[in-house]
Structures are given as structure tokens and as C-alpha cells.
Amino acid sequence: MAFRIIRENIVNVEADAIVNTANPKPVFGSGTDTAVYEAAGTEELLKAREAIGEIAEGEAAATPAFGLHAKIIIHTVSPLWIDGSHQEIELLHRCYQSCFAIAEQNECRSIAFPLLASGSNGFDKSTALEVALNEIQNYTMRHDMDVLLVVFDKTSYALSANIFQDVTSYIEEHQVREAQDMEYAAYPRERRRKGKAQFFSIGSSNVLPTFARKEEPVYEECDAIALPEKEDTFQARLFELIDASGKTDPEIYKRANIDRKLFAKIRKDENYKPSRKTAVALALALHLPLAEAQDLIGRAGFALSSSTQADLIFRYCFENHVYDITQVNSILFQFDQEML
């Protein structure tokens, strides 16, 4: 999997490169920085960091990982938030770019980031998240490195207020509608039950009612029963949609955040049945409207209902053209749902 968000202490994560939120000078401060030094071995890591010297905001440098489960530690200096007009956003983008460049130079196949600048640096958490997701998406679309965004707890992670409120309102609205449908669905059934017996009186109120006699159905003769034509399989429909989109296979499976080997299996086997997560991810990668997404997912034997929170999030994303898999996963993470 190319990109995942996990809730964990970054010092416990296994990856080729662990990113540390570093001090510009060769000293370590509080938070993630302290945890990384203590887990790696304070004396050894500080000595290696002193050999590098000062690091400018937006830049990064690598040291051995020592006691961590990694090849290297990449130290990057996040900018301090002043007022938004001092290149803070640009410098934060550069932090991620610098870390990816160093990971490539060291032939790393995986990298783990904390949510840079979201703590004592003063960035709004939703702004820090937006920058992280943007840079991770841009990188994973062009490279095969596995990327982890490691969040210690939910207080250090936040969607923008607008997106969070939109999704929350959408879920609540559909849950209310579902409850109403269930409540009022019973009424027609009761009415049908009461209407089953019809009574007829014959002249006098003393005559007991009699049930109407049911007529025997009349069947017409027919030569043959026309069976519906067999529909395309998931695999056939998927590649029809890819051809129509004008996108290449790598563009689609990278957008879907799925492995190249898995995609190759789907292409080779016309009867391949993907998992539910894979079907949804591919529908998102194709930027399908809700009706077409439901059709594709249905060919894999699944449906998007209005009764589960995850399905409502997917429906929201299709209806509102939120197709970026990193953004979709960030919404799922915020609502404690399993990610794609």
C-alpha cells in the first residue's frame, strides 16, 4: 500500500526512513524530537546531529537511525507560523520535498512522517494536514515508495472545519432519513393486512359477512421465457471505464492506492472478484459519479448503503467529487473508519 495514516508513536514504527521534527541547531527540544533521541540513543544521535550543524527552515539532513527500526532518521526543520505572509506554507511544502529527496538518495522504500508543524510551531492543524496530504499525494503518484503519516492521537490531527462539518451533516441527514424510512415503512404493511379481508352485506344487518371469493388467475401460453442478457463482469467494466477515461493503468492504480501486482491480477483474470475496499478505491480513481460508482462496485458484489458510516462517507465523496484517495482516507481516519 502506497499511503496509510496510522495512530502510533513514531518511534515504534518500522520504516526505512523516520522523519524527525528537528531544531535548527544541533540540540533537541520537546515532543517528537525528544522521543526520537531517547529511542535512538541520545548520545550517539546528538553526536551525529552535531556533525551536520545548523539546518535551515524547510531543509532536511539525515543521520543513522541507531536504536530505531529504520535505516536513517531524516531531520527536517518546520517553519514557525507568524501570520501566513512569511512563506510559512511554502517552507512547510519544502520540508516534505526535502525529506522525500533524501529518502530517494538513500534508496529507501518506505518513509514515516509525523504531521509536521502541527505542534509547537503554531500551524493550524488542518493547514498542516492539507500540506502533508498534498505533498504525499504528489509524490506517491510519481514514485513507488510506501508513505506513512503517523499521528500520536486525534488531538494532533484535524480536517478543515468546512469538510468535517459537511461530512458530519451529510451523515446525520442520511441517518435521519434512514430512520424515517424504517419508521414509516410499517404503515403500508399494516394497511395491506387490514385490506386482505373484504366483507359484503346482503340486505340486512343481521346477515353475517362473507369473504369475497378469489378468482382463479388466467395464464397465457408462451413459447419461451426470455432471460436477461449477462452483464459485463467487474473486470470488463473496469477496463472499459479506464479506456474511456484516457488514463493509463499506472495512473489508475496509483490513484487507487493499490499495488501494481494486485492490479495485474485484475487485468489477467476476467472473473476476478476484488475486495470491497479495492472496488471502491478503483471507482474513486476513475472519478465516477455516484450512480456509475455504484454500478461498478455492484459488479463486484457489493453496495453502498445509507446505513453505515463508512458507506455514507463514500457516498459523500462521490457526490461531492472528492476523489483524492489521501483526502478520502483522511476523512475515514477522522471518523474512526477503516481506510482504503
The yes-or-no answer on residue 83 being catalytic is no
Is 40 within 8 Å of 95 (Cβ atoms)? no
Tell me which long-range contacts 253-257 makes (C-beta under 8 A, separation of at least 24).
253/285, 254/2, 254/140, 254/141, 255/141, 255/284, 255/285, 255/323, 255/325, 256/281, 256/282, 256/284, 256/285, 256/325, 256/340, 257/1, 257/2, 257/3, 257/140, 257/281, 257/325, 257/326, 257/329, 257/340
**CA contacts within 13 A on the Cβ side of 204:** 3
Rounded to an integer, what distance in angstroms lies between the CA atom of residue 334 and that of residue 311? 15
**CA contacts within 13 A on the Cβ side of 177:** 11
| CB-CB neighbours of 327 under 10 Å | 19
Catalytic option among 16, 33, 243, 311:
33
Q: Which three cell numbers stand for residue 333?
A: 481516519
Is 2 within 8 Å of 57 (Cβ atoms)? no
Is 174 within 8 Å of 312 (Cβ atoms)? yes
Is 222 within 8 Å of 280 (Cβ atoms)? no
- Gyration radius from the chain CA atoms: 29
- Catalytic residue IDs: 33
